[in-house]
Amino acid sequence: MLRYVFRRLLTAIPTLLVIVTMAFFLIRVAPGGPFNQERGLSPEIKANLEAQFGLNDPLWLQYVHYLGNLLRGNFGPSYNMPDFTVGELFARGLPVSIQIGASALILALLLGCLLGTIAALNQNKLADYSVIALATAGSTIPTFVIAPVIQLLFGLTWKLLPIGGWGDGALLNKIGPVLTLALPQIAIVARLMRGSMIESLRSHHIRTARALGLSDWSVVVKHALRGAILPIVSFTGPAAAALLTGSIIVETIFSIPGIGRYFVEAALNRDYTLVMGTVVVIALFTIVFNLIVDVMYAFVDPRVRYD
């Protein structure tokens, strides 16, 4: 197993290199540069700035410099927020995004699995139809609708939650964004779980368990649920990577200082280093979480063995 993890980490290096290279050159293909939007910037100052950041060097040299800095853990300065390096921006924003994302993910997994299981055990009955209806609603209503509705009801009408802001990480400030982020995920997990649980309940070894007179609890939880959870485990990898790296919609609507906004804003402003930093962070999260999922898979399913 350790050998497998090591090998997977080794193969992550070329993967990352390809991603970084492609992102680096793709963003440069887009017209404009980091200092084009600044109004009133005299050509002399602009030239100065570009010279200072090495933007006048040939592209390949910039690429080599960037890779060298990256290897030393240096993401470089942000062009548009000159008071901060990209590293500092992440150090401030990432913990916020991770807190919100992880809470939403855990909520989604727990509630989604529970709802999906209840639906599967009552297939084609009222409880099942209710869960399906809820799941359909959850995955069709966009977050930019859910978020304002939560602000309106819980914040303005009932005055239970703050309307927005981070409040230095106060619990009440997190509820709105977590719910918004979790709802569509709950819907997806519930649907996945329902399907795989129905299939699991039909399998031959469940018939064996029933024929041996085992209790319903054992049949459902010990035997059926464990088999049904495998697709959820697979889903968790990419979902975790996406949730933990922040959401632009949720962070903008609730005014939370996460990193979700950086990707879009940086791309629009041609803030090359910030774009690259975001790409590297998301790629790293994706690779690591997929690896974690594969390792967890082996723990749940003994047929999966890596060596």
Partner 1 sequence: MDASETILSVKDLRVRFRTLDGVVEAVKGINIHVNAGETVAVVGESGSGKSQTMMAAMSLLASNGEATGVVDYRGRNLLTLSKSELNQVRGRRISMIFQEPMTSLDPLYSIGNQLIEPIRRHRGLGAAQAREEALKLLRLVYIPDPERRMKSYPHELSGGQRQRVMIAMALANDPDILIADEPTTALDLTIQAQILMLLAELQRKLGMAIVFITHDLGIVRRLADRVYVMRYGEVVEEGEAEAIFVNPQHAYTKMLLAAEPTGIKAPPPPNAPVLLEGRNVEVTFKIGGGFLAGEPLILRAVDHISIRLKRNQTIGIVGESGSGKSTLGRALLRLLPSDGLIRFGDRDISAADRQAMRPLRRELQLVFQDPFGSLSPRMTVGQVITEGLLVHEPILSGRQRDLRAVEALREVGLDPNARNRYPHEFSGGQRQRIAIARAMILKPKVVVLDEPTSALDRSVQKQIVELLRKLQADHELSYLFISHDLAVVRAMADYIIVMKQGKIVEEGPTEAIFSNPQATYTQTLMAAAIDVTRFRLSA
Binding site for partner 1 (CB under 8 A): 7, 10-11, 123, 202-205, 207-216, 218, 222-223, 226-227, 300-303
Q: Which is nearer to partner 1, 7 or 65 (CB)?
A: 7
Contact 115, 134 (CB under 8 A): yes
The nearest distance, CB 305 to partner 1, in angstroms, is: 10
CB of 302 to partner 1, least distance (A): 4
Least distance to partner 1 from the beta carbon of 120, Å?
A: 11
Residue closer to partner 1 by CB (options 159, 303) is: 303
Residue 13, CA distances (Å) to 6, 49, 276, 281, 288 in order: 11, 33, 16, 14, 12
Cβ-based nearer residue to partner 1, 102 or 127: 127
Decide whether 171 or 211 has the Cβ nearer to partner 1.
Answer: 211
85 forms bridges with which residues in the sheet?
77
Q: How far apart, in Å, are the Cα atoms of 251 and each of 35, 103, 143, 245?
A: 26, 15, 11, 11
Quick one: DSSP state of residue 27?
H
If you write DSSP's letter for every residue of 30-70 in order, what string do you get?
Answer: SSS-TTSS-TT--HHHHHHHHHHTTTTS-HHHHHHHHHHHH
Query: To the nearest whole angstrom, how small is the minimum distance from the Cβ of residue 104 to partner 1?
Result: 28
Closest alpha carbon to 268 in 114, 92, 80, 124: 80
CB of 291 to partner 1, least distance (A): 15
Which of 124/157 has CB closer to partner 1?
124
